[in-house]
Structures are given as structure tokens and as C-alpha cells.
Amino acid sequence: MSDLKAHQLIYAFFFLLNYCIFTFTKLGDESMNKVILILASLLISSATYAECTELLSGKRCTDEYGNQYTIQNTLSGGTEVRGYNPRTGSRWSQSTRKSLGGDIIQEGVDADGRRWNQTIHKDLGGRTVISGVDSDGNRYRKVID
């Protein structure tokens, strides 16, 4: 698999992950972690064949190209996904957690080392507000009724 295709799959995964988070914002912390873990596992299995080792708090996987992934639950109830390509040295990561107020906070670093973040919030009117900064430094805000 070329690096470009791998990056496209990773970005497709993040899109799918964000869509699911928007859809499941009413779920509790435990359900959200399961959704994220399942989606991360699907990315790894759909990208290529990967051998995974179960950890106490998640999985560690290596695919047929040598790319390495870890998917872990954090002590605070969040989830961390990290990837590494030993051939190119590129790394990427994403962490997802809930704030005390119930907002979903996502932060990450893309394969080019650029940081991004977003917050998903339910406003008083019941609308979902998604705001953040993408990996190019562009701010965005979207309201979903």
C-alpha cells in the first residue's frame, strides 16, 4: 500500500470517526469508547492485514507493511489512537475524551506533524456545535440541528 493511500485511509477513518461521534453524542463515556475502539479496529483491518495483541487497556497492532498502531483507553475514560510508519518515520495520533461538562474533546497530530483539535458541544437548544482548528490552522464551526 502506498503512503498516499494509507494517508487517505487514515483521513477517511477520521471522517468516519467524527461522523459517528456526532451521531452518538447522547451515549455515555463507556459506549463512546467502544465506538471509537471499534472504528479504529475497522480502519486497521480495512487498510491491510494486521496482527494485533490485546493489552489491558486496548490493542497494539502491526500490519503487513510494518506500520504500528496502538489503541488504548485512558485512565480518565478517553481513548488514544497512535500510528507509526517505521519506513518513513511518520507518526499520527488522536485522543478523544469527555469534559466534566459533557463536551467531547478531540486533539491530534497528523502524519505531517501538524496539530488539530475540535470540541463537540450540545447547546441549550439541543443543537450539536462542532468547532475547532484543522491541521492547516483554519478555524471552523458547524451547528447541526
Q: What's the half-sphere exposure (Cβ side, CA atoms, 13 Å) at 18? A: 22
Q: pLDDT tens digits for 103-134?
A: 999 999 998 999 999 999 999 888 999 999 99
Q: How many domains does the chain have?
A: 1
Task: Cell 480495512: give the residue.
Answer: 46
Q: pLDDT tens digits for 21-52?
A: 544 444 455 555 555 555 555 555 554 567 88
Question: What is the model's pLDDT at position 3?
Answer: 45
Containing structural domain, residue 112: 3-144
